[in-house]
Structures are given as structure tokens and as C-alpha cells.
A = this chain, B = another copy of it.
């Protein structure tokens, strides 16, 4: 058989930045030295890149997002292994697309807890981008969503969570022993007018305040 790379050379913008990702893996391996071996870290970096690439429409932020996503996942796994200290309660929000409800809940929890809760969010079938109406109603209350992006649910972040909150992902959420689970009934903001999305945001905030109280964190 003959192998040629003609197709690739004619589409340079699609090139897989393998050398860059391996250098990133070197940096992360140094950061997690003594916790994970180089092989595990490299697997996480390449897998995280491919997982985000699957649903990314715009490639511009992919490498930056890969750094964040891979670092969060490795940190979660290190916490779950007991290799990193857990200082604050760890809360994971899961919805289907990780484009609206779980993103609002994560940012509101971080804000209202003044950082005394560590949050992560994920989707069972992540969307391409955040819901623009969700970004708008969060901006209205002074909360910046520009660094957030839809991410697939991975087992590491579930393992690290003290509390898992699901919202409309059905039973597509793995249940780990020893976790505290909540399911919030919330309307889906997708294709809703801005007033409806605003009402969902307010509902999410109410749920978040109750959650914080149950975690003995006084909401700001």
C-alpha cells in the first residue's frame, strides 16, 4: 500500500499540532511530577485536544482550552487519588450540552461562594458553543462567561466531586459510591426568548444559594 500526505499538505489549517501538544505534555508532566507519569499526562493532553476538537466549530481557542481542560482533569484525578489536597468542597454541574444551565450554575456558584467552593461543569453531549442568550443574561448581572466552553463529561471530574448536580442529562451521569447527588428541575434555555432565559438564570441562582447553605458556605 502507498501512503501519501498530499491531502494534509493542501489543508495546513487542519494540521494536528502534535509537536506543540507534546511540549505542553512535557510542561504538565513537570507540574504533576510524582503524581502521574509522563505517559498518563501525554494521553490526557492528546485525548483532551481530540475531545474538544470533535465539537469545536472555531479552532482558534483550541490549544488554550486544551491546557485548561487537561489541567482540570489531571487535577481532579490527582484529588480523587488523594495526591492533591482538597481545600474547598468540589461541585460538579452536568447538563446535556454544557452550553447553558450547567455553565450558569458553575459561574454563579463560584461568584456567590466567593471562591470557597470549587466548581466544574460538563455535558453528556456537549454543544459547539455556549448559548449566546445565556452569555447575555449572565453579562447583565456582571458575570463574565468569555473563558467558558462546552466540555464532555469525563470520569475524572466525577470522581473528584463531593457533590454532583445534574440538570436534564437524564441517566447519562455515572453514579460513584460516596457521592452526594442532586437533580435540579430546570427548563432548557435553548431557543427560548431572553426573558425566559433570564427567569431560568434566577431559578439557577436560587438553587445555588440553597446548595451553598447546605455546604455551610454563606452566599455573598
Closest CB-CB distance, A180 to chain B, in whole Å? 5
Asked if B182 and A7 make an inter-chain contact with CB atoms under 8 angstroms apart, the answer reads yes
Report how many copies the assembly holds: 2
Asked if B40 and A178 make an inter-chain contact with CB atoms under 8 angstroms apart, the answer reads no
A173 to B56, CA, bound (A): 10
A175 to B59, CA, bound (A): 13
A14 part of interface (Cβ distance < 8 Å)? yes
Interface residue ranges of A38-52 to B (CB < 8 Å):
39-40, 43-44, 46-47, 49-51
- Chain B residue, CB-CB nearest to A172: B54
Asked if A5 and B180 make an inter-chain contact with CB atoms under 8 angstroms apart, the answer reads yes
- Selected from B40, B125, B162, B173, the residue in CB contact (under 8 A) with A43 is B40
A76 part of interface (Cβ distance < 8 Å)? no
Asked if B125 and A14 make an inter-chain contact with CB atoms under 8 angstroms apart, the answer reads no
Q: Which residues of B contact A37 (CB under 8 A)?
A: 37, 39
Known: A37-B37, A50-B155. A14 touches B171 (CB 8 A): yes
Asked if B175 and A14 make an inter-chain contact with CB atoms under 8 angstroms apart, the answer reads yes
Q: Which residues of B contact A181 (CB under 8 A)?
A: 7-8
- Selected from B15, B178, B214, the residue in CB contact (under 8 A) with A5 is B178
A195 part of interface (Cβ distance < 8 Å)? no
0/1 string, A174-210, CB within 8 A of B gives 1: 1111111111000000000000000000000000000
A92 part of interface (Cβ distance < 8 Å)? no
Known: A1-B215, A56-B172, A162-B1. A8 touches B179 (CB 8 A): yes
What are 13 inter-chain pairs, A to B, with CB distance below 8 A?
A1-B214, A7-B182, A11-B175, A14-B171, A39-B39, A43-B44, A46-B155, A47-B154, A50-B153, A53-B173, A54-B172, A55-B124, A125-B125
Q: 20 extra interchain contacts, Cβ-Cβ under 8 A, other than A47-B47, A56-B172?
A: A1-B89, A3-B163, A3-B179, A5-B179, A7-B180, A8-B176, A11-B175, A14-B171, A14-B175, A43-B44, A49-B155, A50-B153, A50-B154, A51-B154, A53-B172, A55-B124, A55-B125, A55-B172, A59-B171, A152-B152
